[in-house]
Each structure stands twice: as structure tokens, then as C-alpha cells.
């Protein structure tokens, strides 16, 4: 599937996924729980195939180099990150239950965990749940995203948090081999470190590309801004 076609499909399906957010707000860990709920509602879709359309044979922990670079144990994480792990596990179980899938412990357990440093020096945690879900959290900004391996492998795993009404804090996951992203073909670059990128972007539609022609990510920040009730 061509990048633009894939991204159009992703955008068309987003409204349906957004409807899941309110049902996940019952989680009881505050802002981190809501973060995990939104991340799952926006990103948990698609999958089971690689960029060429072949059947996925590796687990998500094997597909992303970050898990070998910064391996960590859950009990070594600070309290906030441990709360995040509990939140994403709860959201994974809730998602599987809503999709009438088998919500076994194996499907929502942390199968791999990494603690790395972001490009701005902040602590970033990356977790693999089961065989096909990857999540990331910036502990300082409390921004993050969860997605299945298909969205992450194609660069379409991201979240955008409003900063006032004119900008967004964007965090996302990229596959191995992507070291930087170009903003709108020449408006600047975003470094990718340990499969994770972060940037503060103006609230305008933005396209991120890389040296890999299969990576072309459309960030619909104008649409996101129109849904921000604090600014409308």
C-alpha cells in the first residue's frame, strides 16, 4: 500500500478510534491513565503485516533496537513510570475485551522494557506488551503513545498534546534505521533517538518524511486544534 493511501486510511479511521476515549476515562491513575487510554484509542488499529504486506513473524520486542540498547527491569523504574506501566496494561486488557479478543495475561504483560534518554535529555521509557504492542512515555512531559507493530513500523504511531492553542507537543515511534525526520520537506528536522522522536510543532498540518521513502507521516494538527474545546 502506498504511503499516502495508508495515511488516508489511517485518518479516515481515526474518528472511530477517538470514540473509545471516553469509555477508558474510568481508569483510576489520573493523568497517566488518561494518557494511556488516549494512546490506545488513537493508535490501536491495523497491523499484522510489514511494510511490504508480508506476514509478521517477529515480536515487537525483536523488531525495535531500543529494547537491546536500553533494557530495564520494571521494578527499577521510578514510581511515575511504574504507574504508566500499570495504566497501559489495563488499557490493553480493556481494548482486547472491547474487541472480543482473548484478554489473557500474556496479551497485556510487559514482554520487554527499555529506559533511554531523549534528545532533550529527558527520561523516556519504551515497553512491549505481549507480542505486537509497543508503548512509549516521556516522564517529564507525560506524553506518549501505544500502537501495534504495523503502525510503529510504518511511522504512524504518534500522539499530539496541545500547548496552548497554537502548538502541539508530538511524540512518536519510528522503525529501526530512521535517524531523523524532515518537516514539510524542508522546514527543519527532528532527530530520532532509540526509535523515538519528539518535537514541538505549530498547529498546522504537517508531513514528516525520512530517508526511507516508505515513511511519510501526516500529522493533522489543524483538525486536532479544531477539536480542542479550550480554544474554540
Where exactly are the structural domains of the chain? 3-227
What is the arithmetic mean of pLDDT over 130-148? Answer: 89
Whether pLDDT at 143 is above 80: yes
Q: How much is the pLDDT for 59?
A: 87
Query: Whole-number mean pLDDT of the chain?
Result: 77
What is the arithmetic mean of pLDDT over 122-137? Answer: 92
Three cell numbers written together for 101: 479478543
DSSP state of 168: E
Whether the CB-CB separation of 6 and 70 falls below 8 Å is answered with no
Whether pLDDT at 14 is above 80: no
- The pLDDT-based confidence of 11 (bands split at 50, 70, 90) is very low
Q: How much is the pLDDT for 153?
A: 92
Whether pLDDT at 16 is above 80: no
What is residue 4's three-state secondary structure? helix
Kindly report which listed range (36-50, 61-75, 94-108) carries the lowest average pLDDT score: 36-50
Which residue is listed with cell 489543524? Answer: 222
Phi-psi category of 195—alpha, beta or left, where left has phi over 0 and alpha has psi -120 to 50? left
Whether pLDDT at 205 is above 90: yes
- Helix, strand, coil % in the chain, rounded to nearest 5: 35, 30, 35
Kindly report which listed range (46-60, 123-137, 166-180) carries the lowest average pLDDT score: 46-60
H or E stretch at 197: strand 196-202
Q: How much is the pLDDT for 51?
A: 43
Q: How much is the pLDDT for 40?
A: 43
Give the pLDDT confidence of 151-189 residue by residue, as tens digits. Answer: 999 999 999 999 999 999 999 999 999 999 999 988 999
What is the arithmetic mean of pLDDT over 2-13? Answer: 46
Amino acid at each position: 500500500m502506498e504511503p499516502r493511501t495508508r495515511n488516508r486510511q489511517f485518518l479516515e479511521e481515526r474518528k472511530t478510534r477517538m470514540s473509545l476515549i471516553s469509555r477508558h476515562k474510568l481508569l483510576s491513575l489520573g493523568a497517566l491513565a488518561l494518557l494511556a487510554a488516549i494512546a490506545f484509542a488513537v493508535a490501536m488499529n491495523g497491523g499484522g503485516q510489514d511494510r511490504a504486506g508480508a506476514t509478521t513473524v517477529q515480536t515487537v520486542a525483536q523488531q525495535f533496537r531500543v529494547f537491546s540498547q536500553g533494557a530495564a527491569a520494571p521494578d527499577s523504574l521510578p514510581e511515575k513510570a511504574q504507574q504508566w506501566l500499570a495504566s497501559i496494561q489495563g488499557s490493553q486488557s480493556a481494548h482486547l475485551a472491547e474487541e472480543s479478543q482473548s484478554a489473557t495475561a500474556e496479551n497485556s504483560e510487559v514482554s520487554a522494557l527499555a529506559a533511554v534518554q531523549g534528545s532533550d535529555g529527558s527520561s523516556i521509557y519504551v515497553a512491549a506488551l505481549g507480542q505486537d504492542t509497543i508503548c512509549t512515555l516521556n516522564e517529564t512531559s507525560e506524553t506518549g503513545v501505544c500502537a501495534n507493530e504495523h503502525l510503529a513500523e510504518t511511522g504512524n504511531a504518534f500522539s499530539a498534546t496541545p500547548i496552548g492553542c497554537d502548538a502541539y507537543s508530538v511524540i512518536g515511534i519510528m522503525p529501526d534505521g530512521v535517524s531523523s525526520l524532515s518537516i514539510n520537506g524542508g522546514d527543519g528536522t527532528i532527530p530520532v533517538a532509540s526509535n523515538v522522536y519528539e518535537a514541538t510543532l505549530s498547529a498546522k498540518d504537517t508531513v514528516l518524511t525520512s530517508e526511507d521513502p516508505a515513511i511519510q507521516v501526516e500529522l493533522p494538527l489543524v483538525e486536532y486544534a479544531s477539536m480542542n474545546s479550550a480554544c474554540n
